[in-house]
């Protein structure tokens, strides 16, 4: 299954959640966010959802927010099962410690898709070495910086990054001015702002 390339506001309304990683666009009207997209705009709260649909929607929130394929997410679930600890929390930590996610969280790019482009084009260094794999798993103590400062001087880059989030999560440290940052520790659950029930995601894949 390929990555989603359709309208992103419609996707947010379908899932009933703001996907901060995927797009900077927001559904301004909260009532509209609670209504499903389409001609009739059914209210989400008035529709009876099956248990399978609830598990599916939670899984889709993760997949679309981090812009990964179904097979990639399934591999993360399999890897999380092999690690000792809470499987749901480990899945979120694996996704948050991806290089493209770290670049996005350090405010080097406005969206996770643009962060992935920076990585794949060879503009990002990890511990002084260029890494072109967006799914590269970063570790505590790693330093991340942009190699090509000319990229950030582009007016288009500056315009897109003007509305980027300025608040850094507690597991990261860095400076957007110097285009350099680092990882202090593994991300905690409270630093992941996406309203998702990871236990339902684990339950969804346990039935496969």
Whether 2 maps to a domain, the answer reads no
If asked whether residues 180 and 107 sit together in one domain, one would say yes
Gap between the Cα atoms of 180 and 105, Å rounded? 12
Same domain assignment for residues 34 and 113? no
What is the C-alpha separation between 5 and 2, in angstroms, rounded? 9
In a domain, 1, yes or no: no
Burial class (CB in 10 A: 0-12, 13-18, 19+), 169: middle
Q: What pLDDT does 190 receive?
A: 86
Chain centroid to Cα 13, Å, comes to: 17
Q: Is the same domain home to 67 and 107?
A: no
Question: Which residues fall within 8 angstroms of residue 166, CB to CB, at 6 or more apart?
Answer: 107, 176
How much is the pLDDT for 15? 75
Cβ neighbours for 83, distance < 8 A, ≥ 6 positions apart: 90
Range of the domain at 55: 8-94+192-206
Whole-number pLDDT of residue 167:
76
pLDDT at 75: 94
In a domain, 116, yes or no: yes
Name the pTM for this structure. Answer: 0.81
Q: Judge if 22 and 86 occupy the same domain.
A: yes
Q: Does residue 109 sit in the same domain as residue 167?
A: yes
Q: Is residue 155 part of a domain?
A: yes
User: What is the average pLDDT value for the chain, to the nearest integer?
Assistant: 81
| pLDDT the model gives residue 136 | 95
């Amino acid at each position: 299954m390929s990555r989603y390339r359709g309208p992103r506001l419609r996707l947010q309304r379908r899932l009933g959640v703001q996907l901060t990683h995927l797009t900077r666009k927001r559904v301004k009207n909260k009532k509209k966010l609670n209504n499903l997209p389409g001609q009739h705009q059914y209210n989400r709260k008035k529709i009876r959802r099956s248990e399978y649909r609830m598990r599916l929607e939670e899984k889709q929130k993760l997949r679309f927010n981090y812009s990964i394929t179904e097979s990639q997410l399934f591999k993360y679930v399999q890897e999380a099962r092999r690690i000792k600890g809470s499987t749901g929390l480990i899945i979120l930590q694996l996704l948050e410690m991806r290089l493209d996610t770290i670049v996005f969280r350090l405010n080097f790019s406005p969206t996770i898709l643009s962060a992935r482009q920076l990585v794949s084009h060879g503009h990002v260094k990890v511990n002084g070495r260029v890494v072109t794999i967006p799914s590269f798993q970063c570790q505590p103590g790693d330093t991340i910086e942009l190699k090509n400062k000319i990229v950030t001087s582009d007016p288009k880059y500056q315009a897109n990054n003007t509305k980027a989030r300025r608040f850094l999560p507690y597991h990261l440290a860095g400076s957007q001015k110097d285009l350099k940052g680092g990882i202090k520790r593994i991300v905690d659950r409270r630093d992941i702002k996406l309203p998702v029930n990871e236990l339902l995601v684990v339950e969804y894949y346990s039935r496969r």
